[in-house]
Each structure stands twice: as structure tokens, then as C-alpha cells.
Amino acid sequence: MTEFALTDTDGELLRRVRSWVREHLADLDTFALTDAVQVVDELTTNALSHGRPPQCLRLLRRPGRVRVEVDDGALARARPRAPSVTGGRGLLLVAALSDAWGQYATPTGKTVWAELPLTAPGEGG
């Protein structure tokens, strides 16, 4: 497991998060890496836009998959919007790119997670 604390609020935070994910998942094929970066970007954006501190991103690697977890201090559950609504389609994208996603309550708010299949060179990619 590796963690990235979402403590900065400057305009460069999402760029640093994407770079951090690319660094930690650099061995993946292009498609799996692109999907993972997109899911992390969506979950992190939601946490920063709708949540409150403490906020943290985690990557948990398992054989053939990675679990992305993003903590935020908001108690409200994350809910996908209807496809007909303008904007706010991040969780629909997360659902489309991941095998599963969900959320659970924590003592300080909630954690939203997604599990993605990974294909690294030599793993059938």
C-alpha cells in the first residue's frame, strides 16, 4: 500500500497526484495505466470538491488488480448522477472503468474506493 496525503489546495495538486500514480504504476500497460489515472483523478476531484479534510489517496496493489481508495471528511454518501444531468459524471466514469466501486463510513467521514484490473507486460497484456 502506498499513500498520498491530499493536503495542498493549490492548482497543481491534481497534476502531482496524476504524476504520483504514473510513477507507482509505471509497469502497467498503457490502457490499464490510463484507466487507473482517470479513476484516481475522478475520485480525488470529488473528494476535493465535495469533501473536507482529512483527505488521503491510497493505492493497494494485488495480483492482477489495484484498489484505489480516497478518504474525505464528508459524511454525505457519494452518488452518481443520472446520465441526462449536465456535468457530474465522474462516478459514472469510475463505474465504467472499474470492476467494482463503493464506499464505506469511517470515523472521520467516508472512503470511496474502486478496483481496477491491471495488465502489466507479461501478464497477458
- The single-letter code of the amino acid at 75 is L
Distance CA 39, CA 33 (A): 10
Q: How far is CA 11 from the centre of its chain?
A: 18
Q: What's residue 125's pLDDT? A: 46
Coil, strand, or helix at residue 124?
A: coil
Half-sphere exposure of 5 (CA within 13 A, CB side): 4
Average per-residue pLDDT in the chain? Answer: 87
Higher-confidence residue: 114 or 123? 114
CB 83, CB 72: distance < 8 Å: no
Dump pLDDT digits (tens) for 53-106: 888 999 999 998 999 999 998 888 887 766 666 666 789 999 999 999 999 999
What the chain holds in terms of domains, given with CATH numbers, is 2-117 (3.30.565.10)
Q: Residue 55: in which H helix or E strand, if any?
A: none
Residue found under cell 483527505: 55
